Amino acid sequence: MNLARIAARGPFASTLSLYILLTLPSCKSPSPRQFIRPSLSRLPGRRSLSVLIMETFLFTSESVNEGHPDKLCDQISDAVLDACLAQDPESKVACETCTKTNMVMVFGEITTKANIDYEKIVRDTCREIGFVSEDVGLDADNCKVLVNIEQQSPDIAQGVHGHLTKKPEEIGAGDQGHMFGYATDETPELMPLSHVLATKLGAKLTEVRKNGTCPWLRPDGKTQVTVEYHNDNGAMVPIRVHTILISTQHDETVTNDEIAADLKEHVIKPVVPEKYLDEKTIFHLNPSGRFVIGGPHGDAGLTGRKIIIDTYGGWGAHGGGAFSGKDPTKVDRSGAYIVRQAAKSIVASGLARRAIVQVSYAIGVPEPLSVFVDTYGTGKIPDREILKIVKENFDFRPGMISINLDLKRGGNRFLKTAAYGHFGREDPDFTWEVVKPLKWEKA
């Protein structure tokens, strides 16, 4: 009996998941394992084969370490933002950073009452990451630091906040744009598993570098995880981890075999749940064979070039705007935060297993132009009713987002977001991750 041929016939060919109960005689038959995931049970006089024919697909997400040159720039930009907000919560900040060998430059538009030592922020941030000598890619104490900061355009200032005269509910969006928030029930964080694992692997690399577990590690590095998924009527169900890729900067002394052994034992094993690994999981551990030159010495870096890593690892959608170095009037950031909270609340409240929320703005206009909800067919009630609930529970005006999510507070609050993701983190400073209970009547 050719089970593959049976499964492909007729209306079953277009079905994503199909349960078939086959009653077979006790005679021997070819093993179906190459086609299906079988479950056997004994019945009197016959053998019953309960078969789940499941169509799966592969999806990949990547992440980069805090020592990646682009991420270095994100962290410097957000460190500047934190410093401004700490002294002046009404600071208007659009801070960009770029870096290359032996050089870091901060530039942009900042209007603030704060007294900021930009050079000190740059050097302190580089040093904290681990860039303490030219051997590792940058020397925090001796690199050139260039600063070119001007004030916010008065044209933008009058249109957005009226030169700080408008009430919070009157503050307009700092620019046009559209932002997306996403949530899925496949992980406790309500984030995609492929993204969660890639991000946590990168964070673990930094942890074992800084605590001395793997002293051969250097700051730069990248991770990537491919997960095999099943689409369960719109909800994403992880089946297994298909491939793990880690490329990490290292010193001259370590061998490739030592790198592979340490990465499996001290990075992969503590992060990836054993249930997702099997004998077919593929590992690519420093596949290029050598990664000694890294950081800004290996590649130029620029703020805002890792926006997919910052969000959902390729899932959902992205409006294109970066986050780091931007104060809350920039809806690229605050708008993305509020729609993440909305999407997460939809899933956490049981309204859907998976959801995406979009919001759009016009510069200088407080009210959003549009709000959109899609639950990918997983909603317990129609999407139009979920949209109504979202609009009743969330205030999408930029000035009110800043208040409701407490986004004018500095410290190291935004610096923490600039590496290892803005979403799915358990940290009280990530106020947009707090679920807002949504009341609805179950059908």
pLDDT 10s digits, 219-264: 999 999 999 999 999 999 999 999 999 999 999 999 999 999 999 9
Domain that holds residue 23: 3-54
Residue 326 is a catalytic residue: yes
Out of 74, 96, 186, 220, which one is annotated catalytic? 96
Q: Which amino acid is at 384?
A: R
Q: Is residue 331 part of a domain?
A: no
Domain count, the chain: 2
| Active-site annotation holds for 82 | no
pLDDT at 63: 99
CATH label of the domain that carries residue 263: 3.30.300.10
CA distance linking residue 201 with residue 292, whole number of Å: 20
Q: Is 96 a catalytic residue?
A: yes
Q: Which of 332, 374, 383, 433 is flagged as catalytic?
A: 332
pLDDT tens-digit readout, 294-332? 999 999 999 999 999 999 999 999 999 999 999 999 999
Catalytic residue among 195, 242, 266, 305: 305
- The answer to whether residue 147 sits within a structural domain is no
> 398 in a domain, yes or no?
no
List, for residues 340-361, the tens digit of each pLDDT value.
999 999 999 999 999 999 999 9
End-of-domain residue from the set 295, 329, 347: 295
Is 291 a catalytic site residue? yes
Q: Is 207 a catalytic residue?
A: no
Question: Which of 66, 68, 82, 344 is flagged as catalytic?
Answer: 68
Name the active-site residue from 300, 317, 348, 362: 300
User: Is residue 68 flagged as an active site residue?
Assistant: yes
Answer yes or no: is 228 within a domain: yes
Q: 204, 218, 330, 397: which is the annotated catalytic residue?
A: 330
At 169-187, the pLDDT tens digits run 999 999 999 999 999 999 9
Q: Is residue 47 part of a domain?
A: yes
In a domain, 174, yes or no: no
Is 300 in the active site?
yes
User: Is 383 noted as a catalytic residue in this protein?
Assistant: no
Active-site residue, from 92, 222, 318, 344: 222
User: Distance between CA atoms of 347 and 329, rounded to whole angstroms?
Assistant: 27
Q: Which of 262, 295, 328 is the last residue of a domain?
A: 295
* Residue 34 belongs to some domain of the structure: yes
User: Catalytic: 299?
Assistant: yes
Q: Which of 295, 315, 334 is the last residue of a domain?
A: 295
Active site residue 250: no
Is 219 part of any domain? Answer: yes
pTM for this predicted structure? 0.88
